[in-house]
Amino acid sequence: MSVSLLLDSITLRFGGLTAVSALNLSVSGEDLLGLIGPNGAGKTTVFNLITGVYTPTEGTITFNGRPTTRFKAPQLARLGIARTFQNIRLFGSLSVFDNVRAAVQLHRSHGIRDALSRGKSFHESEKVVADQVMEMLELFRLARLRDEPATSLPYGEQRRLEIVRALATQPKLLLLDEPAAGMNPTEKVELMKLIQFVKDKYKIAVLLVEHDMQVVMGICQRIAVLDHGIKIAEGTPTEVRADPKVIDAYLGHEHS
């Protein structure tokens, strides 16, 4: 099934400050769209708008043809939008296993009554969840760390776990907020492979906010450039790289 996210002239104001201004953006199918721009350009704000953390002042957001402008984060997760965070947000007091387990819960129907009755169906259902979690942990080479506290993992693995947790909600659209931040060159290459792997394996759309040009230019099919909350360019990596407005605002001139 093809997925589509549409932002139609989205504006967000905080008092006198216009954080995002008349932004149009679309992600569909198995796109890998990169969103770049200087610090404070409003990239993370766009993420927060899409995932229901903020509600836009003007404009509409539609996901698979459904207006989702006023939806809150849990509803959007249910519809199939998952995200990671710029500053990793794992559940610190839970193990690696439980971090993913909490996310698997989303598309399962059992709740309080099952948990209290502890019947046969409860144990079966818990087993299905556990299998599902372990399968994902093995796929992403985290299985050996299953009982470790999530925040005790090395940085790169915390990033990976956060992506796994997002994938455990069975999303159709995955938003990655600066996944390469703080990574060394080897980890960045690993990350690019990981994103490509996720896309191929799960056939989902990915929206990537990133500062690292090597990563963005390396894997994105399309790139949108934000500056002061305004989209100043959109196109293929080659087009964007050659765009004078982008060079002015973000990439900078080469001094020779």
Partner 1 sequence: MNARNSKKWLLAALGAALVISYFSAQFNRYYLGVAIDVGINIILAVSLNLINGHTGQFSLGHAGFMAVGGFTAAKFTLLTAPAFFPLSLLIGGLMAALAGLLVGVPSLRLRGDYLAIVTLGFGEIIRVIFQNSQAFGAATGLTGIPDLTTLFWTFGTAAITVYVVTSLVNSTYGRGFICVRDDEVAAAAIGISPTRYKVTAFVVGAFFAGVAGALYAHHKTVMQPDGFNFIRSIDIVVMVILGGMGRTTGVIIAAVVLTVLPEFLREFASYRMILYSLLIIGLMLARPEGLFTIRKRTNAGA
Residues that bind partner 1 (CB under 8 A): 51-53, 72-74, 77-78, 82-83, 85, 89-94, 98, 101-106, 108, 110-112, 114-116, 118, 122-123, 125-126, 129, 149, 151-152, 165-166, 168-169
114's tokens? 């099952």
212's tokens? 């690292």
Which residue has 């149009």 as its token pair? 24
Q: How far is the CB of 126 from partner 1 (least distance, A)?
A: 6
For residues 93 and 256, which CB has a smaller minimum distance to partner 1 in the complex? 93
Say if residues 62 and 68 touch (Cβ distance below 8 Å): yes
Q: How far is the CB of 204 from partner 1 (least distance, A)?
A: 16
Q: How far is the CB of 237 from partner 1 (least distance, A)?
A: 29
Q: How far is the CB of 230 from partner 1 (least distance, A)?
A: 27
For residues 27 and 77, which CB has a smaller minimum distance to partner 1 in the complex? 77
For residues 51 and 68, which CB has a smaller minimum distance to partner 1 in the complex? 51
Look at residues 226, 160, 171, 233 and name the one whose alpha carbon lies nearest to residue 195.
160
- Cα 136 to Cα 124, 143, 164: the distances in Å are 19, 8, 7
Q: How far is the CB of 254 from partner 1 (least distance, A)?
A: 40
Residue 167 CB partners (closer than 8 Å, separation 6+): 82, 136, 174, 198, 202
For residues 8 and 126, which CB has a smaller minimum distance to partner 1 in the complex? 126
148's tokens? 């470790």
Say if residues 52 and 173 touch (Cβ distance below 8 Å): no
For residues 106 and 139, which CB has a smaller minimum distance to partner 1 in the complex? 106
Q: How far apart are CA 4 and CA 20, in angstroms?
A: 21
